[in-house]
Amino acid sequence: MQGASRAVAKQAKWETEMAENTTIIINDEVVDSAELMELYKITAEDQERIRRLGKKAAGHMDRAFDEFYEWLKEESWFDEFFADENVLAHVKRQQHDYWQSFMTADVDADYVQRRHVVGEVHARIGLPLNAYFAAMNTFQEIFAHVMMDVIPGEDHAATLESMSKLMHLDSAIVAETYNRAFQDAMREQSDSIMAMSTPVTEIWDSILFLPIVGLIDSHRAREVMDSTLSKIADTQAQIFILDISGVGVVDTAVANNLFRITRATKLMGCESIISGVSPAIAQTIVDLGIDVGVIRTTGTMRDALALSFRSVGVEMTRTR
């Protein structure tokens, strides 16, 4: 229960943060409400139909919500996201507020921002986007039955069309925000993994060590260089061992990034040794025609350590 309470509190915090941003963005373009209305062909008549529907259906919303949650409980993702009563109660309140806002049909910055919040929250909790679309489609079907009781037959089709237009606009905003939030989360995760995967460690007095695993693009090379140079400045290290035994592919770009790092360390008075140079990597570097005459390399980490100790005047002897 405590975990669920924290989840609700975190969601409320996200909603507050999102509410502070009033920019209307659709498909990476800043637009105003008039442009949105024109884009989705929502007219003043559509708005008026939705408002009339909201007034006439006010007493029937609870029935629609009950039917909707009966459907929701049968979905495979209900237990994962909504089984906790506190979370479900919060979601129900948010949904009630959402549809109240929908029935005003006032597509202003506040209206759009509420949809931004929906997309952001769905992305943050990891609820699949197709679950949102399924829910919107189901609620529209349920509400279409409610409309039969409150809207005259001759106005029923026109009102349903007006409602569909606004729901399409809502879905576009939610999907755009969801995708942006998801990409931001992936970028943050990637940055965190990169930060954890490039720990420059002082393994001996005046000797730094950094193992690299995976690919080395220009962004990661900058991260490595920044952390390495900062560590050199802090420790006044004389030797920097860069182990690339975990790097699967070395092309011209990767090799240039590696050598750029070693040149930068040399400018700070720290000699670099690239260890873990496999036969395949050595052959690739030769084939690329890269001048490695000024770079100290070793095939293994052990050789790199032995070379480093000699360079700083440390002699290692066996005790047995």
Q: What is the pLDDT of residue 30?
A: 62
| pTM greater than 0.95 | no
How far apart are the C-alpha atoms of 284 and 277, rounded to whole Å?
A: 10
Together in a domain, 49 and 158: yes
Residue 317 lies in a domain: no
Together in a domain, 66 and 159: yes
| Phi, psi dihedrals of residue 149, rounded to the nearest 5° | -85, -20
Together in a domain, 136 and 245: no
Task: Say how many domains are in the chain.
Answer: 2
Q: What CATH number does residue 135 fall under?
A: 1.10.490.10
Q: What is the pLDDT of residue 3?
A: 44
Could you tell me what percentage of the chain is helix, strand and coil, using 3-state DSSP and rounding each to the nearest 5?
A: 70, 10, 25
Tallying the residues shown for the chain, one arrives at: 320
For the chain, 320 residues long, give each residue's pLDDT as a single digit of tens. Answer: 444 445 445 445 444 544 444 455 555 566 677 888 898 999 999 999 999 999 998 888 888 999 999 999 999 889 888 888 888 899 899 999 999 999 999 998 889 888 988 998 888 888 888 999 999 999 999 988 888 888 877 788 899 999 999 999 999 999 999 998 888 877 776 666 655 556 899 999 999 999 988 777 777 888 889 989 999 999 999 999 999 988 877 777 788 888 888 889 999 999 999 999 888 888 877 877 776 666 789 999 999 999 999 999 888 777 77
Which residues, 6+ apart, have CB-to-CB distance to 43 below 8 Å?
37
Q: What is the pLDDT of residue 247?
A: 83
| Phi, psi dihedrals of residue 114, rounded to the nearest 5° | -60, -35
The last residue of one of the domains, among 195, 217, 246, is 195
Q: What sign results for the dihedral spanned by CA atoms 59, 64, 67, 69?
A: negative
Side-chain-side CA neighbours of residue 221 (13 Å) = 17
Residue 318 lies in a domain: no
